[in-house]
Structure formats: C-alpha cells, structure tokens
C-alpha cells in the first residue's frame, strides 16, 4: 500500500479518531498527538490492513486503547466527555441560555457515568457508530452494548428530570 492509498483509506475517519481522543484526553494537543500515533501505527500495519473487515473500527480500538494507556500512565482518574458539537441555528437568548445550561448538566451527568457507559454514549450518540462497530471496538457483544447504552440514557434522563423538577419548585 502506498501513501496515497493509505491516505484515501484513513481520511474518512481521521476526524473521528481525533474526536474520540479529545473526549478521552481533553487536551487538544494530546488528542492531536494521539491521533498521529494511531496513524503511524496504522501505517506500520498498512500491508495487513486489507485483512480487517473494518479498518475504521480497528483504528477506533487502537485510539481508545492508546488514550486509555496515556491516561493510566499519567494516573488520571477522571475522564471527561464534553459535548461541544452542539449548534443551534437561530434561538432566542433565553432559549440559548436554557439549552446551554441543559447541555452543561448533561455533560456533568455523563462525566459521572462509569467509563464504559461514557465511551458507549460517545460512540453511539455523538459519533453515530452502529452497535456492531461499537461491539467490536469495546470487545463486547451487541446486547451488552444496548443494555449499557439504555442504562446510561436512563440515568441521564432521571438526573435531568430531577434537575428540571428542582428548578420548577
């Protein structure tokens, strides 16, 4: 595989690798470094990439593992997931403030979820991965992915309901 073929293969999902790394590592610079590391690893394996059903899923797995290794080496115990892909077209100021507040609360709630649920929420609801792809990346079966996702969403709903009801009193 030459450089052009490699770039054609990896370009469609390079940004997803970066976003996952950023979610895990928080720092843009560290996420950029991690993405480059993963791409270098893929380049070194470029001759065997055709043997994979999904090079993207393989790359996401490498990214996840690389970032988790980075975090473990730094002894960082809190992994944050921050949703910054949100965009509203023409909201009123009041609506925008309310939406931003809700989004902040959802981010805080997601940060309190167990690591596995945070990663599944990230891949499914933010990155829009299929259950099959998430199962490969997380090395779990699809049923377990669905259950974990359901529990995470339920926890977010319950917490948001409490927050909204508390604010109404």
What are the pLDDT digits (tens) for 18-52?
Answer: 999 998 888 899 999 999 999 999 999 988 888 88
CA separation for the pair 62, 37 (Å, rounded): 10
Q: Do 105 and 63 sit in the same domain of this protein? A: no
Task: Indicate the pTM of the whole model.
Answer: 0.55
Same domain, 68 and 105: no
Q: What range does the domain containing 17 cover?
A: 3-74
Residue 80 lies in a domain: no
Percentage of residues in the chain with pLDDT exceeding 70? 88
Domain count for the chain, please give it.
2
Whether residue 16 is found in the same domain as residue 44: yes
**Would you call 21 exposed, middle or buried from its count of C-beta atoms within 10 A (0-12, 13-18, 19+)?**
buried
Note whether 101 and 65 are same-domain residues: no
- Measure the CA–CA gap between 6 and 140, rounded to whole angstroms: 28
Position 110 in a domain: yes
């Amino acid at each position: 595989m030459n450089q052009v073929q490699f770039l054609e293969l990896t370009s469609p999902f390079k940004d997803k690798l970066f976003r996952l790394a950023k979610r895990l590592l928080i720092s843009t610079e560290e996420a950029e470094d991690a993405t480059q590391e993963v791409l270098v690893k893929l380049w070194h394996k470029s001759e065997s990439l055709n043997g994979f059903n999904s090079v993207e899923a393989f790359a996401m797995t490498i990214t996840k593992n690389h970032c988790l290794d980075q975090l473990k080496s730094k002894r960082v115990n809190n992994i944050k997931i921050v949703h910054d892909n949100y965009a509203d077209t023409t909201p009123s100021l009041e609506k925008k403030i309310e939406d931003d507040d809700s989004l902040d609360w959802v981010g805080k709630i997601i940060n309190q979820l167990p690591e596995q649920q945070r990663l599944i929420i990230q891949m499914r609801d933010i990155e829009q991965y299929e259950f099959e792809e998430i199962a490969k990346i997380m090395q779990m079966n699809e049923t377990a992915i669905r259950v974990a996702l359901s529990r995470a969403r339920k926890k977010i709903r319950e917490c948001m309901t409490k927050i909204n009801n508390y604010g109404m009193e």
